[in-house]
Homo-oligomer: A and B are copies of this chain.
Amino acid sequence: MARDPKSKNITWSDGDVNHEARVRRNGHRAAILWFTGLSGSGKSTLAQAVEKELFLRRVHTYILDGDNIRFGLNRDLGFSPQDRTENIRRIGEVANLMMDAGTICLTAFISPYRADRQGSREIAPEGSFIEVYTKCSLDECERRDPKGLYKKARAGEIPQFTGISAPYEEPENAEIVVETDNSTIEECVAQVIGYLADHEFLVVDPG
């Protein structure tokens, strides 16, 4: 796999179909947008809104989330600390494959452990892993409770629920921090798109 997707001197001379060839064909660089935050903090909502904006710009995207991972690749895993780590390890590997395939891959998982997120960062080519912290107070997440999970967790019906009975380790150096209890969705989307534009992910220098 390509180890430096941000390289400016991309060439496709030997006819091989590799990461650089796909980047040139797609007209944008690839990346992993790794959304992390409490349940209800807006990870999936924001990822979907960002994807829609990227798609309008003809960027190739894919979202990995609970819907397509927990019932598929990771259906053998539960919510113990060990299984959460393996869950994130596999997601990191798949995100890296999606990135290698030329997409901007968005992942929307709580991913509560710092070490697990760091593991996913380390297997990605340098500069291609972008951590997006959807920062939101526990009070506000619990007030929103879109899936009724906090209510169940408080009632003791869900063990090891992040923020209630299992830890969430806040990012210390996330590339992007969006405060979803203080910003509109449009502002959050603009913040993420702005980062990608500023770091030259959305266009490829024709050389």
A interface with B by C-beta (< 8 Å)? 1, 15-17, 21-22, 25, 48, 51-52, 55, 58, 60-62, 64, 68, 72-73, 90, 93-94, 96-98, 100-103, 123
Q: A51 — which chain B residues lie within 8 A by C-beta?
A: 17
CA distance A52 to B17 in the complex (A): 6
- Using Cβ atoms and an 8 Å threshold, which residues of chain B touch A97? 62, 64, 68, 72-73, 94, 98
**A72–B123 touching, CB < 8 Å:** yes
Q: Is the CB of B55 within 8 A of A21?
A: yes
Shortest CB distance A186–B (Å)? 15
Min CB–CB distance A131 → chain B (angstroms) = 20
One of B1, B15, B22, B62 near A101 (C-beta < 8 A): B62
Known: A72-B96, A73-B90. A60 touches B62 (CB 8 A): no
